Structure 1
Amino acid sequence: MAHANLEKGELMSQVKQQIALANAQEMLSKMTEKCFKKCISKPGKALDGSEQRCISQCMDRFLDTWNLVSRTYGNRLQREQVKSLQNDALN
């Protein structure tokens, strides 16, 4: 039985890693799309200085926002989990 639990734990770990990778890939794709649309009006062979600054600032804001939303969501999940455990203990 302990072997089955170990395999289940390893499988869950792999699934969590795959989900994290998929989330990171989605974030990068959305960031690229949004910042390109915002900053690049006439695509060419190279970015000019204003396009480079715009891309940099756009990516910084996108990542800051992504991190804020992720932290807020994680905190909410923790609060709900604590609340659920407290309700279970009372019942």
Structure 2
Amino acid sequence: MYILLALIGACALGIAVHFMIADRDLRGVALAPAIATAASAILYTSLQWAGVGEDSIWLWLASVLGAVAIAALATWALTRLRRRSDAAARAALGI
């Protein structure tokens, strides 16, 4: 049940990531929170399988703040990729 706390925290901070990164009109509103939630689930589960207990601060830091860092980097990279592909499409069309 503790995994829900990590997932909700990562999702809420993922919403903040969406609003902190520029060019919001180039991506969906659910992209950053979805990436943060998925990364949090993977990190939390992996650390639990590795034997890290629920009382360890490293489990929570990795699964919440680490997931938000992953979401920020992925969202920034996808936005930059989208900006580049849009520029290439405009150049190809002569717009």
Specify the alignment match of 2:70 in structure 1: 65
Aligned to 1:87: 92
Larger RCO of the pair (alpha carbons < 8 Å, separation 6+)? 2
Alpha-carbon RMSD across the aligned residues, in angstroms, is: 3.0
Out of 27, 30, 34, the position equivalent to 2:36 is: 27
CA distance in 1, matches of 2:30, 2:90: 30
Higher helix share: 1
Q: Secondary structure at the match of 1:20?
A: coil
- Please give the TM-score of this superposition, normalised by the length of structure 2: 0.50
Secondary structure at 2:29 match in 1? helix
How many residue pairs end up in the alignment? Answer: 67
Please list every run of 5 or more consecutive structure 1 residues that lacks an aligned counterpart in the other structure. 1-15
State the TM-score, normalized to the length of structure 1. 0.51
Match of 2:59 among 41, 54, 57: 54
Letter in 2 for 1:54: L
1:38 pairs with 2:43: no
1:77 paired with 2:86, answer no
Letter in 1 for 2:70: T
